[in-house]
Homo-oligomer: A and B are copies of this chain.
Amino acid sequence: MVAYGKTLRKIRKQKGITLKELADGICSISFLSKFERTDSDITLGLMTSVLEKLMLSFDEFLYIHHDFQPNKLEQFFKSVNTAYMNRNAKLLKELKNEEMKKWKRYGVETYHWNALMIMMLGQIVDEQFIDEDFEENDIRLLSDYLFRVEVWGYYELALYNGTLLLLETDMVIMLSRTAYQKSNRFKDFNKVKDAITTVLFNTIIYLLGPVNRFHEEFTYQKEIGEFISYLENLALSEENLLERVHLLQLKGVYDIRTGNKEEGVVKINHSIQILKDLQSTKMANNFEQYLQQILSYLKNTQL
């Protein structure tokens, strides 16, 4: 049994509410007291009523309970992502092993997908990463799962975001389309909406390709247009300035990629200027570096 009761008592006291007031109309005083002292667990239905009366959402309650830390799911993706960003292959391996263990213990495939995602990220960090746990058609199984799930939530989106880079182009196009369609009902739920947005941005970046292939012919005009329209649909609200700046930049890259070099450079510089104006220096620098990379590459290939 988890010690949620103590957290409840703490919060109740902080708000200056008595057991009687809180219990009234929901459950008996003595039981609430017992729950708060962790002498008993509580039913989900009762807990719902109690939190409602305290004007607390479940997530806020759990956030406090976990000492102001996000829930386990978010923590998982956060720690994987941090390890990946720091190119920490050892930590990634540990995280992978934990998930493999859970998979073998419970037989629930989700733990398997988690392990797979970590292995795929590990492979980018260190070419020697993949071990006996990885089998050739695992990726196939993973994408089968993603196609099969009828509603994509935060989990599926985060999972896909972690694996997208290593999938085939056709697969990415189909899956990203699926992702958008099957997560659409969450569009007013910020956490999930952000994950969809990330998928769409990553897809566009993937389709534009790495800079050292910018001289090759480009064939994804239609698809990029499609994903941009999804993004505009989603982040329609005027308040999503970050998304709008990012989109402006990517439209610039797209222009360059499709031959409109001058127009593209103008757009990218414009996005950089806005970031500088708002003192978002790091992001501005990243954008600038990327632009320089593109320009110097184009110069070299034209010689």
Contact = CB atoms under 8 A, between A and B. Distances in A.
Interface of A: 1-2, 4, 11, 14-17, 21-22, 24-25, 41-45, 47-48, 52-60, 62-64, 68, 70-74, 105-110, 145, 148-151, 153-155, 185-186, 188-192, 238-242, 244-245, 248, 270, 274-275, 277-283
B277 A2 contact: no
Nearest to A282: B238
Contact of A63 (B53, B54, B189, B245): B189
A21 B106 contact: yes
B281 A277 contact: no
A13 to B, nearest CB: 8
Given A16-B148, A281-B238, A60 B154 contact: yes
Nearest to A4: B44
A65 to B, nearest CB: 10
Contact of A149 (B15, B41, B148, B283): B15
A56 B73 contact: yes
A40 to B, nearest CB: 9
Number of copies: 2
Given A44-B4, A151-B14, A62 B58 contact: yes
Contacts of A22: 108
Contact of A190 (B145, B148, B190): B190
Q: Which 8 A-B pairs have the closest CB atoms?
A: A241-B241, A58-B58, A55-B155, A238-B280, A59-B59, A244-B278, A41-B43, A14-B150
A52 B22 CA distance: 28
A148 to B, nearest CB: 6
Contact of A277 (B42, B149, B150, B270): B270
A71 B58 CA distance: 9
A14 B44 contact: no
B55 A149 contact: no
Contacts of A242: 239-242
Given A52-B73, A57-B71, 7 more contacts: A17-B110, A24-B108, A53-B108, A55-B155, A56-B73, A57-B191, A58-B62
A22 B111 CA distance: 12
A29 to B, nearest CB: 13
Contacts of A71: 57-58
B63 A110 contact: no
Contacts of A154: 56-57, 60
A74 B57 contact: yes
A145 B43 CA distance: 30
A145 B188 contact: no
Nearest to A277: B274
Contact of A60 (B16, B63, B189, B280): B189
